[in-house]
Amino acid sequence: MQLLIQLLYLYPTMLKQIFDQYLQDSNYSQKEPQELYEPLDYMLSLGGKRIRPLSVLIACSLFSDNIKQALPAAYAVELFHNFSLIHDDIMDNSDIRRGKPTVHKKWDENTAILSGDAMFVYAYEHLSKLPPAVLPAALMAFNEAAIGVCEGQQKDINFEKRLANSVTTEEYIDMIELKTSILIYGAMKIGALVGGASQEDAERVGLFGKNLGIAFQLQDDYLDTFGDTAKVGKRIGGDILQNKKTYLVIKALELAEEASKVELIDWLTHQVSLEQEQAKIDKVTALFHQLEIPKELQTAIKKYNDLALENLAAIELSDEKKKPLLDLLHQLMEREY
């Protein structure tokens, strides 16, 4: 176990290599019709941080030396995540995903829907490969996470139909808890169960993942507006241009005086020309600074970071064995991209 813990300090490289090899060995290149399966391999090849499947593996490693037994569950979680992204891209009419054309743009919407549906089914096929003793509990955790993602997406859609100042920060946190962090909760809980954790410890590990996921999403909101373009890898202020109701916008509308509130709503309810885009980003960002929104957001991030640490402290393992989770938390929260 000591050697395993030392190796886990190399996260994400070592676990990612293990998972990527499993993903490569599980590709769909030999299946027919290729019109259905090629988009699956394409979507999975786009990469990403692989936070969710790696969460399964790192949670399993806390309780077992045998990480490979959790690979089917890790793959199931990654399949479900990518299925949801394919469908999200259709709903959002997004052209680009991780710097490449989205599935529905590279092929068409019907192909994207069918390929996403196939991913969903294969997620359950891989989950069914888990040991029979843990399968019922793992299925319950997976189903809870899967339906939570759907509920979170619907809440996000509902927000888009509401006035900018009618959404509260509490509602926003509830939405991202479902849309983003509940799958990390499910991933970590399943990984812990596969590793042999008690139901109580598996739940604690899952809650660690949930609160880490909320902090992670809030950090994304922060970086989109206040990050460094060179490090983030995309234009800063994209959420502002898309008039997204992020935590920054909602908190600013809660704190702003009437004149600033009217100005902010005006900027965030109108599309602008290409020539006006940077002016919009600069003005809204200036209003955020005026209202000390960066400080407010960092306070919220710290709150959920601290909750994750409380969950971690409650897990009945030695501090040495918990270190991979602590390292994961620090790496995700200190990131600049």
Task: Tell me the whole-structure pTM to 2 decimals.
Answer: 0.89
How far is the CA of 203 from the CAs of 89, 106, 130, 189, in angstroms?
31, 40, 18, 6
Residue 12, pLDDT above cutoff 60? no
Identify the pLDDT of residue 11: 52
pLDDT digits (tens, 9 = 90+) for 261-270: 999 999 888 8
- Give the distance from CA 43 to its chain's centroid: 16
Q: How far apart are CA 16 and CA 26, in angstroms?
A: 15
Average pLDDT along the chain: 89
User: Which phi and psi (to 5°) does residue 96 adopt?
Assistant: -125, 140
- Domain range list for the chain: 2-333
Q: Mark out the alpha helices in the chain (DSSP H runs).
A: 2-8, 13-25, 34-45, 51-61, 71-92, 103-106, 109-127, 135-160, 169-176, 182-195, 199-226, 229-232, 238-241, 247-255, 258-268, 277-290, 293-314, 319-333
pLDDT digits (tens, 9 = 90+) for 274-314: 899 999 999 999 999 999 999 999 999 999 999 999 999 99
Domain topology for 2-333: Farnesyl Diphosphate Synthase (1.10.600)
- Sign, CA dihedral 243-248-251-252, equals negative
Identify the pLDDT of residue 153: 92
pLDDT digits (tens, 9 = 90+) for 184-243: 999 999 999 999 999 999 999 999 999 999 998 999 899 989 887 766 666 788 888 888
